[in-house]
Every structure is written in C-alpha cells, then in structure tokens.
Amino acid sequence: MAGSVKALILLAFAGSLGLMFLLLACALPQYNNWWPLFVIVFYILAPLPYSIARRQRDDLGSSSSVMELAIFFTAGIVISSFGLPIVLAHAGPVIQWGAAALVMTGNLVMYVTIAGFFLAFDGDADSWNYF
C-alpha cells in the first residue's frame, strides 16, 4: 500500500509540473496568449483509446488488433499535441516560439506522467507498487 501512495504522490507532482509549464507558456508577460491551453483536450483524449481497448480485451480475451488500433490512435493524439504548438508558432505567428517550447516541455512531462500512471496502476492491487 505504501508503494501505491508514493507512486500517486510522484504522479501528482509530475502532473502539476507539466501543467505549470503549460500555464507558463500562456501567462508569462512576454507571451500573454492563451491559445496553447488547447492541448489540454489532447491530455484528456490520449488515454481514452487505450482504456477502451483494455476493457474490450478483458471482455473478449486477448485481442491484439484492438490494442494495436488503440495504440495507433493514441500515437496520433500525442503527435497532434506536439504538432499544435509548432503550427501555432509557425502560422501567423499566433504564439511565440518560446511559448511553443514551454508547451512541448509540458507535453513531454504530462505524457510521461500518463504513461507512468498506466504502468503503476495497471492490473490488480498487488501490482501497484512499481515505485
């Protein structure tokens, strides 16, 4: 039980660090543009295909094609969240390149946090203590 609490605290810290980078990209006076905040939609959408496919795998047995399709959709969502700040910085420029770099740093931290969540809390209660 102590391992899962440590993992939860570490994941909460990492998630707040990723959101801090995202908010810095929006709120710093030299950037002062809230368009980068749209990547939060990708943070919400990224774990959904894998979660749905995992549930289908549990119902149907081992279905690798469903899992591979879910990983494909997840990869598309993750790549889109890294591409959005680049497109916003290049086209216009709607945001500055420094804000795009902060958003991509926040993306990296958030996706490592999401992957860490699935590694730490995937399975039953006995497999929760990876940390």
Q: What is the DSSP string of the chain?
A: -HHHHHHHHHHHHHHHHHHHHHHHHHHSTTT---GGGGGHHHHHHTHHHHHHHHHHHHHHS--HHHHHHHHHHHHHHHHHHHHHHHHHHHSTTSS-HHHHHHHHHHHHHHHHHHHHHHHHSSSSGGG----
Task: Quote the pTM value.
Answer: 0.84
pLDDT in tens, 87-107: 999 988 899 999 999 999 999
pLDDT in tens, 66-78: 889 999 999 999 9
Q: How many domains does the chain have?
A: 1
The boundaries of the domain holding residue 68 are: 2-127
